[in-house]
Structure 1
Amino acid sequence: MRIFPVSGNSGSGSRHQRAGSNCCQFKVKHALKLSGSIAAIKRHGGCLSLACLDVDHFKQINDVYGHPAGDAVLQSLAATIKSRVRESDVVARTGGEEFVVLMPQTGRNSGLRLAESLRETIESQPLRLDTGERFFLTISAGVVAWCQGDEEPSDLLAACDRLLYEAKNSGRNIVVAEQA
């Protein structure tokens, strides 16, 4: 099963599959990059932001279109996210339909703007199955930031995940960020 942005090419889909496979599992190396980013900020100053993203009503996609379509949606989503972030940012799939974006040297407002931009892009981009059927996705997101001089970050990923679930519980298709 392949899935394509409606405006995209209707070729083999391999570009989307390759892009998705580059960021499909949250691994120790991503945790180390987060730790390394925190250490760099402690040494040199600055901020980092972390966004947790989750596909709204993903179970319905699997139930209605099947698991191959769900996999294709995740690959397409990964490609969209990767195309919208900087090379220095880290995109990882943390499991299921959840992704994390680590944004080094990015303050809260910039992290919030990126997450909102991703949400708007994904919401406005119809997807087409290789059967020709079209549908839209939405995502919910939580965003946290940590800057030099803030309290020691205890668990940024857990805080980000809490904000993501706040977004889910607030109606979905929104971004919730920690208070400035």
Structure 2
Amino acid sequence: MTRRWEPLLEQVVRERYTRLVARAMLLTASRTDAEDLVQDAVVAAFSSRARFTSVAQAEQYVRRAVVTRFVDGTRRTARQRALVARLAHERPPAEPTTLPGRLEAALATLAPRARACVVLRYLDDASVAETAALLGLSEGAVKRYTSDGVAALDALLGTTSTVPGESVRVVPAGGTA
């Protein structure tokens, strides 16, 4: 059974989605964040009591919802940052002293894709092809993110890694395994 609003929803997504994402990108500067923002706004628009009689009305409502959700998210993030800053002043974080603790802290500094590639490749022992399939990336991108991630970890941990293609061994700089 088709609900009365479903054809209008399909038409908005089919005809106006690209334009809505382009507008949202002006706010977020990230395509992924823009797509998430538009998706949230569309769900909100069509799950509320608002009733539209045209695609233009629905698009206008979704545009407003995108801006509202962006502003709300920005405020929420600002409050969270302020809370984190306040808590950081109260209690300084302890520096990890063990290699696993240092590795975890160093991994946290990597960009999300580089971190995912390094973890999948070297901690989960996934192949380049498996990693690419899991993350929806090309094999070349996986190799690049992995290489950049390992280099960043080496710099942060003061270690050197073995030749690509071999299993990774982390050894202290100037030391032996």
Same structural fold, with TM-score higher than 0.5 when normalized by the shorter chain: no
Give the number of the structure whose residues are more often strand, by fraction.
1
Give the number of the structure whose residues are more often helix, by fraction.
2
Larger radius of gyration: 2
